[in-house]
Amino acid sequence: MNDAHIPVLVEEICFWLNPLPGGIYVDCTLGVGGTSLKILEKAGNDAHIIGLDRDHQAIVYAKKTLSKFGKSVKIFNGNFSHIKDFVLEAGYEKVDGIVFDLGVSSLQLDQPERGFSFSLSGPLDMRMDQTQGVTAADLVNYLPEKELADIIFSYGEERYSRRIARAIVQARQAGFIQTTQALVTVLQHALPLAYKKGRLHFATRTFQALRIRVNRELDLLEPALRDAVELLKEGGRVCVVAFHSLEDRIVKHAFRSMARGERPQISLLTKKPVIPSETEIRHNPRARSAKLRVAERIPEGENP
């Protein structure tokens, strides 16, 4: 298995998912296959994984990670907005469990040429699927100032969004902003000194906002969660790990909505999100902000 990415809250996911022999499980954010590997090992005999990922490179690693399980694993290149199509293509109508591990992986962050990291110099790309869509450089160099400010504020929760957008527009008049470090330099000159000395790196929120917008991460999440619940057998479970408040809020509200009303579809198993232990955070700092929420499919119309 590739050591570049350690799956977050994987023991907790397996506890709540409770994978069993013969079970069918969907890993909607396959990455290098770490979570799927654990699920298959916990399930024992004859369990099946349907793995989805929009990142071609991640799929190459995942195939190596899961190669010993042979035909028990079916991997598809695409995002989780098409989960129903992929499950059907794999030959199933219903599944026993579904996992979403949202956000960017360490594999992507650690490669400068992907453009996800503000600490590594590379092209300002940020696409999880590099075969399609606009890049972060496209947004930074061509969007009107107000639209840029709105993206940075809405998706990054950045209070200096207007100041940043103004600085970007001024900087691009002198030449194309094409690298991560060029953007970091613009932010460095635009932001107050006290802000730059804060606990969070001053570029974090802007980079997060651009990445979310490039990959349409929040737009696709709620519909995918609803599709996932429809695919679950009665008693099947969906586990979602979110890494920032915007994602977690969408998951929380979607789950609550599906658990209420005259015809509830799910029961909420985690009243509050599960968070990593101090030990896990020490071994894997990326886990620091992770929150896991879990829901179980109930017979239609049954009150949880």
Instruction: Give a yes or no: residue 303 inside a domain.
Output: no
Burial of 132 (0-12, 13-18, 19+ CB in 10 A): exposed
Model confidence, pTM:
0.91
- Same domain, yes or no: 260 and 182: no
Coil, strand or helix: which one is 28?
Answer: coil
In a domain, 45, yes or no: yes
Q: What is the pLDDT at residue 251?
A: 98
Strand arrangement of the beta sheet that strand 291-297 belongs to: 73-77, 48-53, 24-27, 95-101, 232-242, 291-297, 266-268
Asked whether 297 and 235 are in contact (CB, 8 A), the reply is yes
Domain membership of residue 304 (yes or no) is: no
Task: For residue range 144-203, list pLDDT tens digits in order.
Answer: 999 999 999 999 999 999 999 999 999 999 999 999 999 999 999 999 999 999 888 999
Q: Does some domain include residue 237? A: yes
At 136 the pLDDT is: 97
Whole-number Å distance between alpha carbons of 33 and 164: 37
Using 50, 70 and 90 to split pLDDT, how confident is the model at 303?
A: low
Domain that holds residue 233: 10-107+217-297
